[in-house]
Chains A and B, each alone.
Chain A
Amino acid sequence: MIDPTFVALSRTQFAATALYHFLFVPLTLGLSWILVIMESAYVMTGNTIYRDMTRFWGKLFGINFALGVTTGLTMEFEFGTNWAYYSHYVGDVFGAPLAIEGLMAFFLESTFIGLFFLGWERLSARQHLVVTFFTALGSNLSALWILVANGWMQHPVGSSFSPTTMRMEMNSFYDVLFNPVAQVKFVHTVAAGYVTASMFVLAISAYYMLKGRDMGFAKRSFAIAAGFGFAAALSVIVLGDESGYTLGDVQKDKLAAIEAEYDTAPAPAPFTIFGIPNDKTLTTEDAIRVPGVLGLIATRSLNGEVEGLKDLMKDHEARIRSGMIAYDALQHLRHGDHLQATEDAFNAHKADLGYGLLLKRYSDNVVDATPEQIDAAVHDSIPPVAPLFWGFRIMVGLGFLMLLLIGSSLFFSARHTIQNHRWLLRVLILCLPAPWLACEAGWLVAELGRQPWAIGGVLPTFLATSSLTTADLAFSLTGFIGFYTFLLVIEMFLMVRFAKMGPASLGTGRYHGETSRPVAAPAATALAD
């Protein structure tokens, strides 16, 4: 029988390791392009300050990248170690984009990154720029394939269930690749990474400007980040809206949960600004609503309805009952009954097989579930509303805040007065955590919104686990938390140290803190090394 503690621990471990990995990924995605821009400026102008900028921000990039690689390893292992039934059940579809990611993207990024760090003396300026470009391209292509895989978890297209192999099998690679959910998720996610990197460069440059040191270096870095970040922040919001539109089409449960819409509102649906969702009573208390806005976003029309959770649950109940028939037929097929009638029954209901599997939590045999058990499964069939409702609002609120900050930064930077607006520089430093909070909130909305499914409508999360024990999970989860905390402490220590040291860490003798004493002195090398 399903052990809820074990399932909860498995989910906690995956969420913890994924959220942790996702602390490092967005910065890599964006900072790699910022490095390309800086180095292009160097190749075009020949001004060594741009080379120093590439090398210095590249150093910080490296400190972050190392943990991105470390924690990324876990993600690849974890599907097999902790989600073995998932791996069996959907590996035929889900494994392909992961393997192609390795071949096409991760090889490119990782092979060239070594030359980015260590090839300065061995490559011409142009060659090195090409190396930087391929590193950036590789990391962004990685994101593409990972989100193709994730998009399929959200909206499993291009595949169907086979009773012989007892798993999902791909029937159109084209559909998997051009899954609308994957496409919008990819552009939204990488753009969020670009905003993260821009905020990172803006805040640290702001720190130098406030200290009045390395002004030429800081202002140039600031201007590049502001320009790049402004375009990115606009894209995140526009493409986020596109995601909302796609959700209205294919992930109705998630959209209704994000909006805490339990009852279907008359079209066009209102947008809830504030409210306290209650999953027990299926109501949103103390709600403040703006008429019409949600209908406009989700359906782009005045007469399209956004279905509420209660109505969606009625659909789910019908699908659970249909899934019971599919499960029954499947059992017969797997035990050698190949009557035409059984196959017809299976084929007629197999689209709902996953809904039938939701009953496994209560009745191992599925087909003899009682009405109470069916009710309980129906109640399980929607995502948790409150974290989605709030996670979404935190993400969007921070998104607009960052658009405003980056917009002001660009404006003052273009007028060459940025160093006079010390309040803005201070706010930028204070808001440095904002992009990470927004990214993590976005991850939570995307993946909690998928619940109770590992693969939307196909495989419930609680069935997707490995056959391990609670003790195994307690042991490994403790290990991950301990090891990851240790690594994070070291990473933050180095990041803060090098950010404070600034471009002087390159040891060129041209920057703040280097001019007062000879560069070759042991103390200086010790610090700058």
Chain B
Amino acid sequence: MLDYETLKFIWWVLVGTLLIGFAITDGMDMGVGVLLPFLGKNDMDRRVIINTVGPHWDGNQVWLITAGGAIFAAWPAVYAASFSGFYMAMLLVLFALFFRPVGFDYRSKIEDPRWRNAWDWGLFVAGLVPALIFGVAFGNLLQGVPFHLDDMLRPHYQGTLLFALVPLLNPFALVAGLISLAMLALHGATWLQLRTERPLSERARAAALRLGPVITLLFALAGLWVAFGMDGYQIVSGPPHGALPDPLAKEVVLRHGAWLAIYHQIPKAMAVPALGLAMPLLTALLAAVRLPGLGFITSALGMTGIIGTAGLSMFPFIMPSSTDPNSSLTVWDATSSHLTLTVMFWAVVIFLPCVLTYTVWCYVRMWGKVTAQAIAANSHTAY
């Protein structure tokens, strides 16, 4: 059995992996949804776009569901404090996600253009809102969230109802939201270059050419903001990392530059933000020279760099508290018991390779350009 401290660290890596897996798979579907009204000039265009992800979006969405389940099982305190603390934002994401299963499955079942246009907007919202809000959530985590834990470890928050949503949408968080939205859109645009024919693929290419530099610029801006305009959090004293998790047992202070500490300690860690800066630009370059296959890989690496930077900069914090820093939730004190982490670790070791294997098989079986002719020929089955 692995020791408790190691497992706590492994679970930080695993949750990060699931979130990155979500961005690469389901994030692609969301990016495609966001691009749908802009790239699809007519119904057939839009059917082609939708059918590039049609057979896969449902399986892809399970990355999100599993990431949520893994946070529940591995970091119950984080699941409790974040889902309820971001109540209105979570509802907004949830209601937007509602449009996806029905949007994909119901859209093409009726020919009426009003019906189909309505669902197309549904799919757009279902891509836009979660892509934006997930970034906004990360932006708020970096700044700290106004919550505290009481003596029974019940989380409480400042502000309620819509009022709680407004401060969430502060300028830094909006920049983070735009980064998230743009990187998923770039990923979707790269996918569409791979899976569609001209003129659609050319429109997707034009989108990728614009999105790549935007992401790099926004990410650099966010980096400067974190470095010069924002305080980070730092643990000054607390129980050993392998101790039983008690979030109230440590002392935390706000300190300027604390979010950069990890890069001073481990200079090689700079590779992660470097990926986030370089890869979106490279993805756009690969679109320019018409190599979207490589572009898909660089786009995925770029998202790994961006999500990784957010996680790494905060390490070991997961959800810092701005109103009571000692209530902050960290990798060491927000986790499940040793046994639960062990059981879950083995579940991942056994099942994740199976999942990857059959997912790849499904993608391989459905590979190839999605064409208008193929959809017309299978009009009754295709989305």
Contacts and interface: CB of A to CB of B under 8 A. Distances in A.
Contacts of B382: 118
Given A73-B97, A77-B90, A110-B59, A102 B66 contact: yes
A466 B70 contact: no
B326 interface: no
A3 interface: no
Given A88-B76, A92-B337, A103 B351 contact: yes
Contacts, number: 271
Interface string A45-89: 000000000010000001101110110011011011110111110
A467 B59 contact: no
A115 B366 contact: yes
Interface in B146-186: 151-157, 160-161
Contact of A479 (B95, B336, B380): B95
Contacts of A96: 73, 336, 340, 343-344, 347
Contact of A99 (B56, B66, B365): B66
Nearest to B157: A467
A134 B355 CA distance: 12
B72 A99 contact: yes
Interface stretch (A164-172, A189-197, A208-216, A441-449): A164-172
A119 B364 CA distance: 11
Interface stretch (A199-207, A250-258, A381-389, A469-477): A469-477
A106 B66 contact: yes
A475 B58 contact: no
B381 interface: yes
Interface stretch (B81-89, B137-145, B289-297): B81-89
A9 to B, nearest CB: 13
B354 to A, nearest CB: 8
Nearest to A69: B101
Nearest to B59: A111
B347 A472 contact: no
A91 B56 contact: no
Contacts of B381: 55, 117-118, 120-121
Contact of A63 (B51, B74, B106): B106
Contacts of A526: 111
Contacts of B156: 467
Contacts of A475: 161
B94 interface: yes
A238 interface: no
Contact of A167 (B76, B95, B355): B76
A167 B153 contact: yes
A162 B244 contact: yes
Contacts of A162: 244, 337
Interface string B42-72: 0000000001001111110110011011101
Contact of B87 (A74, A113, A466, A487): A466
B237 interface: no
Given A70-B101, A74-B94, A102-B66, A95 B336 contact: yes
A146 B7 CA distance: 25
A134 to B, nearest CB: 8
- The CB with the most chain A CB atoms within 10 A, among B69, B161, B336, B365, is that of B69
A106 B208 CA distance: 32
Contact of A487 (B54, B82, B83, B98): B98
Interface string A312-339: 0000000000000000000000100000
Chain B's interface size range is: 35 or more
B6 interface: no
A302 B245 CA distance: 50
The SS class assigned to the A binding surface is helix
A119 B337 CA distance: 43
A77 B80 contact: no
Interface string B343-383: 11001100110010011001001100000000000111111
B80 A87 contact: yes
Interface in B297-331: none
Contacts of B91: 81, 476, 479
A529 B110 CA distance: 6
Contact of A77 (B57, B83, B340, B365): B83
A63 B155 CA distance: 39
B365 A102 contact: no
A505 interface: yes
Contacts of A107: 59, 62, 66, 351, 355, 359
B112 to A, nearest CB: 8
Given A84-B80, A104-B347, A169-B339, A471 B62 contact: no
A422 to B, nearest CB: 32
A525 B365 CA distance: 28
A113 B101 CA distance: 12
A122 interface: yes
- The CB with the most chain A CB atoms within 10 A, among B62, B84, B157, is that of B84
A95 B80 CA distance: 11
Given A98-B73, A466-B87, A84 B98 contact: no
A466 B102 contact: no
21 contacts: A66-B102, A66-B104, A67-B101, A67-B102, A69-B61, A69-B101, A70-B97, A85-B155, A94-B72, A95-B336, A99-B344, A100-B344, A103-B348, A107-B66, A107-B351, A110-B58, A111-B62, A111-B359, A119-B55, A471-B160, A472-B88
